[in-house]
Amino acid sequence: MNVKGMNILVTGGASGMGRAFVLSLAKDGANVAFCDVNEAGIAETQAAALAFGTKVVGFKANVADEADVVALVKNAADALGGLQGLINNAGIFRDGLLVKMDKETGAVVKFPLSKWSEVIAVDLTGPFLLTREFAAQVIERKAGPAVVINISSIARHGNRGQGNYSAAKAGLVADTKLWSLELAAYGIRTGAIAPGFIDTPILAGMKPEAFEAMVKPVPLRRVGTPGEIYAGVRFIIECDYFTGRCIDIDGGLNL
């Protein structure tokens, strides 16, 4: 597949890596639909994409809401004339230890179910809903060949304080393999990328000492860039013999 001329849907496209994916795809000649919950960010991303001359359209949608996802995929497909690519990028963090003892009172504090459920809903159920609806429209419109790319994380190996996030990102890699088996008959490939620490607005607010401690274990001694993750995205799109696998782009870091 060639990025140029493709119609691709990106979730979480108003900031961070998602925004970089939208703009890079548009620059490379793809038509892009994207979603986010941040209306101001949607408008900013659309405005930034005008310079590239391809069609870029943003939608407000919550990927954890089934009705929103059904409407999003239909509207995106209608706006672009079908979809051949999906990048499941949207994700959230709600970090905390499973249990911990309060230093002042000695009470045991339990990680709340609500924070577990929020992350699973966005980071795992969201990609399930998006991939289901995307695959259905590819089959119905005979729009293949097509490709789904899931943005996982190095945290899928298990990262302290991220039980919910690690579970979601590990599940996403498992589903990437599973969906490759189920969807191959329809000309739909799947792939996943597991980024390490990437230079996004989330890192910008870190204290210098915390940032240095985070980077120290990385063999390359730096964080990655959204552009380096996009290089992996483009590889998966354009390598027609790639499916069902996860690419680690993490500077060599092991958790």
Supply φ then ψ for residue 186, to 5 degrees.
Answer: -100, 10
230 noted as active-site residue: no
The single residue listed with the structure tokens 């000695």 is 106
Report the b/e string of 213-238 with b at 16+ CB within 10 A: eebeebeeeebbebebbbebbbebbe
For residue 219, say if its preceding peptide bond is cis, omega within 30 degrees of 0. no
In sequence order, the β-bridge partners of residue 245 are 191
DSSP structural state of residue 249: E
Amino acid letter, residue 15: S
Strands 99-101 and 85-88: unpaired
Residues 6 or more apart whose CB falls under 8 angstroms from that of 151 comprise 17, 87, 88, 89, 91, 172, 192, 193, 195, 229
Identified catalytic residue from 165, 186, 230, 241: 165
Q: Cα 238 to the chain's mean position, in Å?
A: 18
Catalytic residues: 165
